[in-house]
Amino acid sequence: MTSGAVRDADLRERSRVVTVGRPTWWAVAGALLVGVVVTFDLLGHGALERLDLRVSEIVSHWGLADSHAYPVVWLVTQIGGRVAILLFLAALVG
């Protein structure tokens, strides 16, 4: 019943369906562009590296290594570590 309504409204020809899990071309291009810009900025010792070093310097003065928050901070850094990322990506790909 609705197929006639869709055909009469001429919506079938104008709508483009993107399958689930497949990003649009501009999303892929944007992700690649961001990845290339970040990579070249880090390799060229640019603003992102300076920001990272500045944040690290500020946080190092907080004295977290001697506080009760150290186990929590350590756990958070391990979650963001290479092994955790590798396991997550392996599960995602699998």
Q: Which residues contact 21 (CB under 8 A, 6 or more apart)?
A: none
Q: Which residues contact 64 (CB under 8 A, 6 or more apart)?
A: 70, 73
Indicate the domain borders of the chain.
Answer: 22-61, 66-94
Encode pLDDT of 35-48 as tens digits.
Answer: 999 999 999 999 99
In terms of pTM, does the model score above 0.85?
no
Please give the structure tokens belonging to residue 48: 């992102």
Encode pLDDT of 30-80 as tens digits.
Answer: 999 999 999 999 999 999 999 999 999 998 898 888 889 899 988 888 887
Please give the structure tokens belonging to residue 22: 């497949």
| Least trusted range by pLDDT, from 2-6, 17-21, 49-53, 75-79 | 2-6
Return the SS3 of 77.
Answer: helix
Query: What mean pLDDT comes out for the span 3-10?
Result: 56
Token match 């071309």: residue? 25
Please give the structure tokens belonging to residue 30: 């944007």
Residue 27: pLDDT band with limits 50, 70, 90:
very high
Quote the pLDDT of residue 13. Answer: 60
